[in-house]
Amino acid sequence: MWQFLEKRVHWMLMLPVLLLLAGLTSYPVLYTGILALSRYNLVRPWVPHGFLGPGNFVAFLSDTYLWRALWVTFKFGFATVSIEIVLGFLIAWLLQQRLRGSSLFRIIYLIPMMVVPVVAGLVWRLMLNPNYGIVNWAISRAGFKPRIWLGSDWALPSVIVTQAWQWIPFSVLIFTVALVAIPKEYYEAADVDGASPWFTFRHITLPNLRWAIMIVSIFKLSDAIKAFDVIYIMTGGGPGVITQTLAQYIKRVGFTDFEMGYAAATSFLLLLISFVVLFPVIRRVGANDAQGKI
């Protein structure tokens, strides 16, 4: 009996937390599921509320705004994660070179990650203001024509840059740890053999960074798919629907059109997309972790 309890004591210790988490997550998911299968409008009580079955999900097929929001979400996620991985690695690599001033920069570059996303969006909105923003002032002094950043086709690149700017420090931290963990003997052996810098990067550095890239991709892609606050503060999904991601579209449907049933169904679509995108990556990491390859 004692041996049985001893082998399972870790599960017994985690059971209260697991039950609490299950209780906190199961009710919202179940209630959202009920709404997704129903017709429910907050401001039109005279419209009959009732069971629609898959009606809200079938409506996806003819919703052009939804598909546009999905395309914007894909572009936003792909661009931000790519920028964070590339610049995060480059900055981490430069910091490893012990350049002059790198110690001070190690402190400064963490500041964006500690800023609340709403504050980051507000700061960049002020910086990109067409009348008194510092960005237009700088490019006009450089001889270029000022632009209306958040009121034109430049709105999506602007929110992409803001999102990437805030979370590049996270990538730098992960890549710094990964670079430090690479044994120096590998580089010494490559140097003795006369390997070129490109050969060294391709066959030593990059293979040892693949799990750092995987971790950054998992965390930052999940953030990008459900990004809301920065975009809402900077553009509100506009102009038009240029920056309207799926999260912004759910907010519009649920709290502007008050179609809570359709908004709940769209929320499940966002959950499904997150699962489809992230599950293969997480499964691969877990499989290699079990084999001791990480």
> In angstroms, rounded to a whole number, what is the distance separating the alpha carbons of residues 265 and 262?
5
> In angstroms, rounded to a whole number, what is the distance separating the alpha carbons of residues 156 and 122?
16
The predicted-structure confidence for 77-130, as pLDDT tens digits, reads as follows: 999 999 999 999 999 988 887 777 677 777 788 888 888 899 999 999 999 998
What homologous superfamily is domain 64-290 in, according to CATH? MetI-like (1.10.3720.10)
pLDDT at residue 248 tops 60:
yes
pTM for this prediction: 0.85
237 Rama class: left (phi>0) / alpha (psi -120 to 50) / beta = left
What are the structure tokens assigned to 1, written together? Answer: 């009996």
> In angstroms, rounded to a whole number, what is the distance separating the alpha carbons of residues 39 and 55?
9
The predicted-structure confidence for 140-174, as pLDDT tens digits, reads as follows: 999 888 889 999 899 999 999 999 999 999 999 99
Helix (H) or strand (E) holding 113: helix 111-114
For 40, list phi and psi in degrees, rounded to 5. -150, 115
Task: Map out the domains of the chain as residue ranges.
Answer: 64-290
The predicted-structure confidence for 12-37, as pLDDT tens digits, reads as follows: 778 888 888 888 888 888 888 888 88
